[in-house]
Structure 1
Amino acid sequence: MKENFDIGHFFKQLFFVIVGVSLLMVGLVALVTLIGVIIAIPLFAKGTKMIVASSNKIE
């Protein structure tokens, strides 16, 4: 029995797979960005305190 190859069905499945992988990548980038922001906020606060403290010593 010979199977028929439907190019339209193939491209539809390929499109959904590409959209799914793209959404996963966007989610991964968003997660890494969120983690970076969470890590950076305390570092910025600490750096600001150090800069203010060093400028007060100079004056």
Structure 2
Amino acid sequence: MKRSKRKTVWAYLDGKKLVDVVQAALDNHMMVDEVKALLIRENPGHEVTFKVQ
């Protein structure tokens, strides 16, 4: 049985790696979408992007 690598979602602030969104959601008992919205709301004037890796 071949096991695939686990993927996670990284948040980037102005192109620099900021935080593992999945781990932050688990640590704070939140949904991934809630953490994404929170990051966007807390960083006005910055470009927040998300990538699955």
TM-score normalised according to structure 2 size = 0.27
Higher strand share: 2
Return the structure number with greater helix share: 1
Give the TM-score normalised by the residue count of structure 1.
0.25
Query: Of the two structures, which has the highest relative contact order with CA contacts closer than 8 Å and spacing of 6 or more?
Result: 2
* Bigger-Rg structure (1/2): 1
